[in-house]
Structure 1
């Protein structure tokens, strides 16, 4: 395989078939301001063998610094009717060829290249553009002096690509799979040259240790480890690569649209075998130049332009009220730095890397460029005004008892900072409204005004006075039914507001409920406390009935209350209204309210039936009689023996039985009785024993 470029033809085994290659010489190291076109060369010459008059094409490429908006074009195409121009915006490459498809004369090519211009209308354009001019098809990179050619070959393996590259030549330079050592080289090979293919990196020798294994850089390690490995030399892996999986031991430039444009991934020797797949190899990149013993070619020349840009140092620190600033900037070229008072046009204030402003008292914007007005940048000299002394909403605040207090102060400009000391100390809060923490004693805070670092040292004091609210004690009082009760707020000399609307220290009430009184101290304290008085109305007790069961008496009130107490002797009172062992006879029951609100009584009779008697004239239990019967005038007691024979009758006239019948003593035995009190009450029956 051989390539014919310019005036010479070379075969794959480097045998020279015709004359030597031409020599291209160019000069041009210019500055450029975006907007108008600029010629890329100042001088240009093609030296060639007189027997050779032309070549197939000329190539002018933005080989480094290529950026958005850049373009190369022939400025006067009408002067060159035999030349056709083609601009490849992806590669940043302009091709000059014969309009007929044949050779283009060196003389025409030389004249046309002198009329090639660069343009970029973007106001933000910056940096350096390097132009490579060659008559060979391969891309020339001035920073390396090497040539790069992408060879399409769909499905080619890495090992086959390596062999094919090494047997190819370019104007006598031996080829090899490209090795990429810099960002410029990576951009040209990976982005501008459409190099979706194999390059000369591999970790087949040691997994994870990537080396260049082709060309003069063979053996150079450029990556050590997995996707987070180290880079002892330049590397441009795609995100997540290399993954070092299986036999993915060979470096490949990713296809456009896959990950980071122009970056690398690792593939197996064959890559994907699926037609059209993103990881199917599409070819390989051959690099020419740098092999031992080779004489550098001169079939390429280069020039450059630099778009001068001034880079400002950090914005100057603001100052307070008035003063002067020293502004600093550097330039990407040796051009003079210029200082202005306007973004465009304006007055030239000074030149050089620094500029000292006059004394100013307002914020002022200055502008700097390195010769290109379009790239002029602004820098602001900030003047901040020192604020006036803060104005307090109130000089003194008060609070009733411990608590938080919201205090306020304003400034004509800037912000308010709060302190606990008149001078020094640290700010405890920032803002015009400050709510203090809980305070329990008098305290002074200080408001300080600041505006972006400009501080007025005169702090405004704001006093807080803590007053003690009136001390009140809640009460629970008893109100007797049908009586009045006087309630007292408990503290004299205050302002009062009762829940019933009264405003006096005392009020008189006649009903049970909860009363409140707001007790407020006079100005300036004006502190309030609320006293609560629970008034419970106690009724006077009433006895509904008394139930007597032998010697047990139950006193039933009309309505029981827990503040009632009861007695059957008027001396001993109890909460329970059940009494035991009540003596026989006429008794009195008492019910009273415990706090002295009232008392009622009711009489009742306890009838006592002795269980036995001993009529032996010893003065003890000689007769049998019903105690209490004397209180019932109509009462009658009928006594029977065990056979039902009437033995005796007792009444109010005859209250007792002596154990005889017709004055004859009856035998010891059990006898029965029936007591009829009156026609409204049931007959009471029982028995007792006569003992001899």
Structure 2
């Protein structure tokens, strides 16, 4: 029976018999263990001449090595290494050295140096896993002594000049990957199409040098990278949210029942597509390498599909009651990096004290060139000589390829600002553009001669609106170096001449004097004239720029609209009873009207005009002239009362006297001619043949002449 232990046990020697017939008897359980990688166990030594069963102590690997490494060089991964083994077992199938944390694929390489000294050893480098295998040339077991010697000559190199960080190396004689940060072992087991539950059972029934297996619980980035990105395939791990949807827990191993605090899900995962309750490392080429997704218990059933399970990851170590194995050892190298703090700039000249930190154990060196050279100083602090220009220094922690620059900045104190003009003026409220220059740096503008905060930074400053005299100050600054001598710029605000635009009438065929309105100024008219007044004979828009004397020199523009006014001409006068409308040949809004020569109005319509000969008057409002025309208003009384009371005793047409040829014919309701009025007889007394007619309505017809229509109407006779 095969017995696996973590500590050395007493060799049990059972002598059953010394019989040549049993000399070649093999132990089946041992042979079975040799054929199953998951149960990677030590071999037992078989003695041909005795029927003996031995319990073999696992080998013990011890290594030291915490070294500093410069990129693009080679370094042995161990400083000391020993491999102690049971005398009954002198060799094993292979040894494995892996970059178990910090691995940089494509740049990190493990290899065997001095190969001529190890003729029995053949190497195999797996760049995906970052793993170097040492095995026997031609196959079979390789002696532990040969492995020990070879491991001492394994070297690490990185081809990138900018490499950084720490690399941890695991050295083991077992096939499982060893992670020094956890002390656990991780083995990927290929099994196409295996379900999560079957993988869980298979993992839990396996052991590794006596350590109980379980589906891996990956609690850190190191574990996730080693089991995912650096693993040989994709497969199940021990996470599930089958108990409560969306609450992912580790359900295997020592962490069973704990909620995942670290996860490495692929983009948009977990998505619970199709009741996916189990965690699975994503197949290479699907999203983020080595990341996780959620699958159903069976995953995809399509052969070759990206989401068809390809195997599972078993973790060994950490189970209750287990003692740690010593079949693995670890070392590490650190790429030393010095980080310098950029010193504060100084003004004009001085020395700097530059401080730096570096990887533990590294020596900091200071240089004045990017490569090579003799160190100016060593240590975490470096004081420069007095310098008056910006100077670059360099620092490294032993690796020239990681040499970093640090700049000691020396700023010049700028000269006192030179302004474009120390006295600036403008006419009326508004903004002013101020300009100042200095030899280096830039200009800050202040409203105070000292102190205060800048209102603007820049060589060209447009002030806010200023309505009264003000002073601004320019100060030169070059980063933290100030020239505190401020240059003043005085701003004067002058009041422009006050002008008032005008509208001036010009009588037709006359001339007019127009005036700028302010004396003691200089003038420039749109006509080119430079006098205060000018004479114009035509209408139009005239402008004059009125400029105040020096030092103000402010200009205001006055606009004078000259409107040429015509003399009115009456076209006709329409009279309708006592309503009169005066029509002109050309209407203008600057004309006004009257029917008595005294009272004028803008309207050309008049009401209740007295009867008789009247005169219509039309004139231009500003006095350019006017015209008049007579017209007659005929008034036909609506009634009369011939009762000899001296009031309305006669019916007569007022204004008829102005028409000598006019005739008025009066009729009764039956059309009987009763009377005829003319220039010789202007009124009717209400009789016919001297007989008074009764009260009634009577009709009239007025014929002025043959050129005008007959006017007809009626009136009442009242008694």
CA separation of 1:73 and 1:499: change in aligned 2, threshold 3 A: same
Q: Which residue of 2 aligns with 1:302?
A: 330
CA distance in 2 between counterparts of 1:576 and 1:532 reads: 31
CA distance in 2 between counterparts of 1:639 and 1:288 reads: 145
CA distance in 2 between counterparts of 1:381 and 1:640 reads: 128
Alpha-carbon deviation of 1:8? 1.7
CA distance in 2 between counterparts of 1:311 and 1:304 reads: 21
Q: Contact between 2:686 and 2:692, CA under 8 Å: does it hold in 1?
A: no
Q: Which residue of 2 aligns with 1:109?
A: 147
- Correspondence 1:255 to 2:283: yes
Alpha-carbon deviation of 1:548? 5.0
- Correspondence 1:337 to 2:337: no
Q: Tell me whether 514-523 or 157-166 shows the greater mean CA deviation.
A: 157-166
Alpha-carbon deviation of 1:583? 5.5
From 428, 431, 438, give the equivalent of 2:458: 431
Superposed CA deviations along residues 496-524 of structure 1, whole A, max 9, x for unmatched, are: 22233322111122233333222121222
CA separation of 1:631 and 1:459: change in aligned 2, threshold 3 A: same
Alpha-carbon deviation of 1:623? 8.6
| CA-atom RMSD in angstroms | 3.9
CA distance in 1 between counterparts of 2:80 and 2:456 reads: 70
Q: Which residue of 1 aligns with 2:8?
A: none
Q: Contact between 2:653 and 2:683, CA under 8 Å: does it hold in 1?
A: no
Alpha-carbon deviation of 1:285? 2.1
1:240-389 correspondence runs (5 A)? 248-312=276-340, 314-389=341-416
CA distance in 2 between counterparts of 1:300 and 1:46 reads: 10
CA distance in 1 between counterparts of 2:643 and 2:326 reads: 169
Alpha-carbon deviation of 1:70? 0.8
CA distance in 2 between counterparts of 1:88 and 1:493 reads: 102
Alpha-carbon deviation of 1:338? 0.9
Q: Which residue of 2 aligns with 1:227?
A: none
- Correspondence 1:508 to 2:546: no
From 96, 103, 108, give the equivalent of 1:59: 96
- Correspondence 1:557 to 2:595: no
CA distance in 1 between counterparts of 2:565 and 2:349 reads: 84
Q: Which residue of 2 aligns with 1:668?
A: 692
Alpha-carbon deviation of 1:441? 0.6
- Correspondence 1:38 to 2:62: no
Q: Contact between 2:666 and 2:676, CA under 8 Å: does it hold in 1?
A: no
CA distance in 1 between counterparts of 2:131 and 2:67 reads: 20
CA separation of 1:487 and 1:44: change in aligned 2, threshold 3 A: same
Alpha-carbon deviation of 1:637? 4.7
Where does structure 2 lack aligned partners over 5 or more consecutive residues?
1-31, 46-52
Q: Contact between 1:58 and 1:96, CA under 8 Å: does it hold in 2?
A: yes
Q: Which residue of 1 aligns with 2:185?
A: 147
Alpha-carbon deviation of 1:491? 0.3
CA separation of 1:166 and 1:584: change in aligned 2, threshold 3 A: closer
CA separation of 1:320 and 1:651: change in aligned 2, threshold 3 A: same
CA distance in 1 between counterparts of 2:673 and 2:164 reads: 147
CA separation of 1:92 and 1:669: change in aligned 2, threshold 3 A: same
Alpha-carbon deviation of 1:490? 0.7
CA distance in 2 between counterparts of 1:242 and 1:641 reads: 118
- Correspondence 1:517 to 2:541: no
Q: Contact between 2:33 and 2:41, CA under 8 Å: does it hold in 1?
A: no
- Correspondence 1:188 to 2:214: no
CA distance in 2 between counterparts of 1:146 and 1:397 reads: 82
Q: Which residue of 2 aligns with 1:571?
A: 598
- Correspondence 1:532 to 2:559: yes
SS at match of 1:109: helix
Alpha-carbon deviation of 1:690? 10
Q: Which residue of 2 aligns with 1:21?
A: 58
Q: Which residue of 1 aligns with 2:111?
A: 73
**Between Structure 1 and Structure 2, how many residues are aligned?**
673
CA distance in 2 between counterparts of 1:629 and 1:204 reads: 124
Q: Tell me whether 396-405 or 293-302 shows the greater mean CA deviation.
A: 293-302
CA distance in 2 between counterparts of 1:108 and 1:386 reads: 71
Where does structure 1 lack aligned partners over 5 or more consecutive residues?
11-15, 224-230
Q: Tell me whether 238-247 or 298-307 shows the greater mean CA deviation.
A: 238-247
Q: Contact between 1:23 and 1:46, CA under 8 Å: does it hold in 2?
A: yes
Q: Contact between 2:91 and 2:142, CA under 8 Å: does it hold in 1?
A: yes
1:620-659 correspondence runs (5 A)? 635=661, 637=663, 654=680
SS at match of 1:147: strand
Q: Tell me whether 613-622 or 509-518 shows the greater mean CA deviation.
A: 613-622
CA separation of 1:260 and 1:17: change in aligned 2, threshold 3 A: farther
CA separation of 1:457 and 1:666: change in aligned 2, threshold 3 A: same
SS at match of 1:33: coil
SS at match of 2:568: coil
CA distance in 1 between counterparts of 2:316 and 2:576 reads: 135
CA separation of 1:498 and 1:99: change in aligned 2, threshold 3 A: same
- Correspondence 1:600 to 2:638: no
CA separation of 1:427 and 1:667: change in aligned 2, threshold 3 A: same
CA distance in 1 between counterparts of 2:276 and 2:500 reads: 90
Q: Contact between 1:623 and 1:656, CA under 8 Å: does it hold in 2?
A: no
From 163, 174, 178, give the equivalent of 1:125: 163
SS at match of 1:148: strand
- Correspondence 1:453 to 2:454: no
CA distance in 2 between counterparts of 1:582 and 1:332 reads: 119
Superposed CA deviations along residues 583-615 of structure 1, whole A, max 9, x for unmatched, are: 665544333333332232334455667889999
Alpha-carbon deviation of 1:348? 1.0
Q: Tell me whether 472-481 or 671-680 shows the greater mean CA deviation.
A: 671-680
Q: Contact between 1:8 and 1:21, CA under 8 Å: does it hold in 2?
A: no
Q: Contact between 1:7 and 1:18, CA under 8 Å: does it hold in 2?
A: no
Q: Which residue of 2 aligns with 1:199?
A: 237
CA distance in 1 between counterparts of 2:126 and 2:503 reads: 102
